[in-house]
Structure 1
Amino acid sequence: MSDTVRSDRALLLQAQADGKTLSAYIKLSGPGWLQSATTLGGGSLAGSLFLGVLGGTSLLWLQIVAITMGVVMLSAISYVTLSTGRRPFDAINKEINPALGWGWLIATAMANMIWCMPQYSLCYDALDKNLATLGGGTGLGDGVVAKSLVTACIFLAAGWIVLLNVRQSRAAKFFDHFLKSLIAMVVVCFFGVAVLLIAQGQIDLRLTFSGLIPDFSQWRMPTGELRDVVDSMSPDASAFWTERLVASQRTVMIAAAATAVGINMTFLLPYSMIARGWDKPFRGLARFDLATGMAIPFVLVTSCVVIAASASFHNRIDDQLASSELGEMQKSPIFDAVKPALLSRVETTLAEEAHQTDARTKLALVAALPTEEKRVAAALVKRDAFQLSLTLAPLLGDTNAKLVFGLGVFGMGFSSIIILMLINGYAFREMVGSPEGTLPFVAGVLVAGLSGASWVWLWSGGAKFWLAIFASTFGMMLLPIAYITFFLMMNSKRILGDDLPTGIRRWIWNLAMGISVAGALAAAYTAIVDKANDASQPAAFPTVVSLLVIYGGAVVFGFWYRLKHEKQSSPS
């Protein structure tokens, strides 16, 4: 135990004896505030931005609920870890069900590898659309060679910093502070934009505060100003746009919720506490730091991003796109992006005549569509980093907005790559049962880094920023594994012994965890159903269902085997 941990432990014990823990918690949790306020990830940024685009401020409640659920479950795993001092993976396998333990570990590794891909993409997008276009530049382009070279440089740089972090060198701390300063810069700017918009009266505070109240009808109905827009349409137009709007809305809501607390965060937290030497006296501090040091800054930052995106894009349409003249409409910067949806709308109206109508006539009908339909189509556009940087323009101007947003997004993506590589290294150590092993750690780091680098070939398209949404949706499918496992651990006498909560404390824990588990299951179910209805990915649903069936069978077998083994080993 280090001198710092020993000193903190003595302070907590004295505070608990005196009944004055709050002052001690505030004193010891200060670094948590600073760190969480400057580590907004690329997924959280993307999710918050698209929430603002689709729902305006009406979806502010979502991330508050998601982070609250996450804090509850992280508090549970921290309670178990600090009470027992055991590594969670080992405790789950030996005391509950090895299928749950391995499912949690494998899901964490998979999330690390998949989530790394959009982080590389975010970095490239920031360079291509923002930083490389400053001073009249044309960007890096979509060529495979350019992507490969940039990706290779990012991979080598991230690997080098991971090595520096393992060695705890001064250079690692310098890069860590540098990256955090980039992220802090864009976070402060979003906060400034929100304050400026409110001061200028561009944000309706009544609607903003009403957006803090959960509205679960948003899972199946359009929200924000777009709800009124859709309701004003003819029945066939309303049905057409409602289906598309709700599908995108649900995807973004699930993704935003998943990035509040990802499954890999549930793995990192307990192992980081063990590494710090924390034990039972730190349980209260852990919960306090999660609630105040992670939840509050997260809510403040993401809310400001949603407000800024809402003011810039929600229910907004440029004059060219609103024009009924085809030539003028084609001048819109997002015409190519809205064209497929608007053509689909026209073809739905033409029905059987669609195949007999030439392309020019269809485009003329697209231009003649009501402005309301074009507004909804504009909201469905998967915007890239260049377009989203305009959310900072009210505060910084267009050029500075591109610079600050580009640097901030690059910092978020790059720091996330480093963290994901580190987590994967720790996960691989657990897989082989070698908590201090160098070879499995290096293997895990390389697997995550190289998996992320494969984005060049596995994903393509102009809106690379949208990759964060797809990866987050996958993460939400995996999150219930961790939540259910933690619920079982908090109710396991075998694991907690005398530290098992009893009486009203146990009721409160189980109620809070039960709500969190139910929320995670509902979101995962919705994500799976949406995949089933996604015609563009026909193989997604059978693949996901097959994996769920196989894993479900493994979990059932694990419980059956443990019960059978306990009966055989118990005295007759």
Structure 2
Amino acid sequence: MAMIIGCIMLFALAHQTLSTGQRPFLAMKQHLSPGLAWVWAIAALGSSIIWGFSHYPLAAGMLEEAIEVAFSFSLKGEGEDTGRQVYLFGLAVLVWIGCATTVWNYGKGASGVRLFENGIKILSLLIIVSFGWVVVSASLNGSVSWSVLLWGFVPHSLPDDAIGVTTMMAALGTAVGINMTFVYGYTILRRGWGREDGELARYDIVLGLVIPYLIVTSLISIAAAASLYDGESTIQNRLAPAQAGAMFAATGMGEFAGRLIFPLGVLGMAIGSLVMHMLTCGAAAAEMFDLEENSTAYRLACLIPTPAVLGVFLWSSMGPYVILPTSAFCGLLLPIAYIGWLILNNRREYLGDDMPNGTRALAYNSAMTLCVLVVVSSVVYSTLVALGWL
């Protein structure tokens, strides 16, 4: 349901952007509210910076794990922790260099950048294929009950504990991040798409976002349940590289390949997110300060999240203090942005003849209204729980 909500709202954004050819920030500023447009841009920029503080430590940690497996080099447990922290910082800087180079040459077709982008896609695809192989292997061994599994995809019960309800409500409210809502419109405009590409955009959202997400989460859940869960232990929130490596090795991949695939796959996903953070900051700054795309000022704006590299040192201490306010601020703004798109979808002076009418308008408005209500409910509930009022 969470992905369906995000899908519906991105459908609406794509329809508006491609029908008018107008950039989303400018559309919201001119046809709805300049203040809302600015807050939306600031929230997208701010969240991209803050979440980078968690992504760089993740990327550095996965790169460290891959180096340890490939070259048997590690500073883990070597006396003082300072040396390892500096080492991780150096790895984070390497990740930053790769991301910055990609963003600075984005869309130019440079062979080096294409190679880097394709490498990241291959790494991300590799982990998906690996989890898929684990599922196939477990299925052949009789470790997967497909009838029970398929029944589990049918909603037939709701969580009855506070943790379960909070997790479900948080997922409903954050299926699509505030930075994704901001940068997506610019992404499809940069591709040169127009009014005639509306159906292509919908296929792009479903095939490029929804289906891959469903496949990845399903494969990881099935693989972990079949290979790691004994039916009695408490389920943990994270899958450790050692656990994933053992799971892959048990399917015949070998210990070396098994231990290497997981950190490289997660590294690829983390780098993809960091590149999106940079592009979001560039797009937001370009709109707020009227910067020309691909100008020097625009490229420097893409580097606004650079301080997040220090997350290697800071995230463990700052994380608990910034996660709540950042999530609350962005979470509260997300339904406001959704309401803005709902209003714009019914503005004839904005959409002209492309404004939905009749049955199509009823379907659009009903779906978008339901999405707004669900997201607002989830944000309010999650905020009350975080404040300790529930």
Q: TM-score, length-normalised on structure 1? A: 0.60
Query: Could you tell me which of 384, 387, 390 is aligned with 1:532?
Result: 387
Q: Displacement of 1:105 after TM fit?
A: 1.1
- Alignment check: 8 A CA contact 1:118 1:455 kept: yes
- Alignment check: 8 A CA contact 2:14 2:185 kept: yes
Deviations 1:423-458 (A, max 9, x none): 2111110111234362442343221132x2131233
Match of 1:502 in 2: 357
CA distance in structure 2 between the aligned counterparts of 1:176 and 1:407, rounded to whole angstroms: 14
Say whether residues 1:198 and 2:139 are aligned partners: yes
SS in 2 for 1:460: helix
SS in 1 for 2:22: coil
- Alignment check: 8 A CA contact 1:264 1:423 kept: yes
Q: Displacement of 1:76 after TM fit?
A: 0.2
Larger Rg: 1
- Alignment check: 8 A CA contact 1:255 1:476 kept: no
CA distance in structure 2 between the aligned counterparts of 1:139 and 1:309, rounded to whole angstroms: 29
- Alignment check: 8 A CA contact 1:96 1:489 kept: yes
Note closer, same or farther for the CA distance 1:413–1:291 as it changes in structure 2 (3 Å cut): closer
Amino acid at match of 1:68: I
- Alignment check: 8 A CA contact 2:60 2:88 kept: yes
Deviations 1:232-275 (A, max 9, x none): xxxxxxxxxxxxxx42x456546655664222222222112222
Match of 2:49 in 1: 113
Query: Could you tell me which of 183, 188, 192 is aligned with 1:268?
Result: 183
Q: Displacement of 1:384 after TM fit?
A: 3.9
Note closer, same or farther for the CA distance 1:384–1:259 as it changes in structure 2 (3 Å cut): farther
Match of 2:111 in 1: 170
CA distance in structure 2 between the aligned counterparts of 1:480 and 1:139, rounded to whole angstroms: 45
Note closer, same or farther for the CA distance 1:533–1:312 as it changes in structure 2 (3 Å cut): farther
Listed as ranges, the matches of 1:216-235 within 5 Å are: 217-218=158-159, 220-221=160-161
Listed as ranges, the matches of 1:400-439 within 5 Å are: 400-436=257-293, 438-439=295-296
CA distance in structure 2 between the aligned counterparts of 1:399 and 1:294, rounded to whole angstroms: 31
Note closer, same or farther for the CA distance 1:298–1:91 as it changes in structure 2 (3 Å cut): same
Amino acid at match of 2:51: W
CA distance in structure 1 between the aligned counterparts of 2:371 and 2:5, rounded to whole angstroms: 5
Match of 1:150 in 2: 91
Query: Could you tell me which of 442, 453, 458 is aligned with 2:299?
Result: 442
Listed as ranges, the matches of 1:361-510 within 5 Å are: 375-376=233-234, 379-380=235-236, 382=238, 384-395=240-251, 396-436=253-293, 438-450=295-307, 452-460=308-316, 476-510=331-365
CA distance in structure 1 between the aligned counterparts of 2:239 and 2:212, rounded to whole angstroms: 26
Match of 1:88 in 2: 24
Q: Displacement of 1:200 after TM fit?
A: 1.9
CA distance in structure 2 between the aligned counterparts of 1:177 and 1:139, rounded to whole angstroms: 30
- Alignment check: 8 A CA contact 1:429 1:437 kept: no
Note closer, same or farther for the CA distance 1:510–1:391 as it changes in structure 2 (3 Å cut): farther
Match of 2:196 in 1: 281
Say whether residues 1:300 and 2:215 are aligned partners: yes
Match of 1:564 in 2: none
SS in 2 for 1:217: coil
CA distance in structure 1 between the aligned counterparts of 2:226 and 2:324, rounded to whole angstroms: 25
Structure 1's unaligned 5+ residue stretches are 1-64, 222-245, 318-374, 535-540, 542-572
Amino acid at match of 1:449: T
CA distance in structure 1 between the aligned counterparts of 2:170 and 2:221, rounded to whole angstroms: 14
- Alignment check: 8 A CA contact 1:85 1:279 kept: yes
Which structure has more relative contact order (CA 8 Å, sep 6+)? It is: 2
Match of 2:127 in 1: 186
- Alignment check: 8 A CA contact 1:477 1:524 kept: yes
Note closer, same or farther for the CA distance 1:67–1:480 as it changes in structure 2 (3 Å cut): same
Match of 1:58 in 2: none
SS in 1 for 2:267: helix
CA distance in structure 2 between the aligned counterparts of 1:532 and 1:514, rounded to whole angstroms: 27
Amino acid at match of 2:378: A
Note closer, same or farther for the CA distance 1:457–1:411 as it changes in structure 2 (3 Å cut): same
Q: Displacement of 1:172 after TM fit?
A: 0.8
The worse-fitting range, judged by mean Cα deviation, of 82-91 and 414-423 is 414-423
Note closer, same or farther for the CA distance 1:399–1:257 as it changes in structure 2 (3 Å cut): farther
SS in 2 for 1:168: coil
CA distance in structure 2 between the aligned counterparts of 1:483 and 1:216, rounded to whole angstroms: 28
Amino acid at match of 1:211: G
SS in 2 for 1:457: helix
CA distance in structure 2 between the aligned counterparts of 1:83 and 1:156, rounded to whole angstroms: 37
Deviations 1:496-519 (A, max 9, x none): 122221111111001111222222
Note closer, same or farther for the CA distance 1:257–1:448 as it changes in structure 2 (3 Å cut): farther
CA distance in structure 2 between the aligned counterparts of 1:252 and 1:191, rounded to whole angstroms: 26
CA distance in structure 2 between the aligned counterparts of 1:497 and 1:381, rounded to whole angstroms: 48
Q: Displacement of 1:194 after TM fit?
A: 1.6
SS in 2 for 1:459: helix
SS in 2 for 1:151: helix
Query: Could you tell me which of 291, 294, 297 is aligned with 2:206?
Result: 291
Q: Displacement of 1:380 after TM fit?
A: 4.2
Q: Displacement of 1:478 after TM fit?
A: 4.4
Amino acid at match of 2:178: I
CA distance in structure 1 between the aligned counterparts of 2:157 and 2:50, rounded to whole angstroms: 29
CA distance in structure 2 between the aligned counterparts of 1:384 and 1:432, rounded to whole angstroms: 43
- Alignment check: 8 A CA contact 2:172 2:375 kept: no
CA distance in structure 1 between the aligned counterparts of 2:36 and 2:268, rounded to whole angstroms: 34
- Alignment check: 8 A CA contact 2:339 2:372 kept: yes
Amino acid at match of 2:119: F
Q: Displacement of 1:106 after TM fit?
A: 1.4
- Alignment check: 8 A CA contact 1:127 1:140 kept: no
Identity %: 30
SS in 2 for 1:454: helix
Note closer, same or farther for the CA distance 1:173–1:482 as it changes in structure 2 (3 Å cut): same
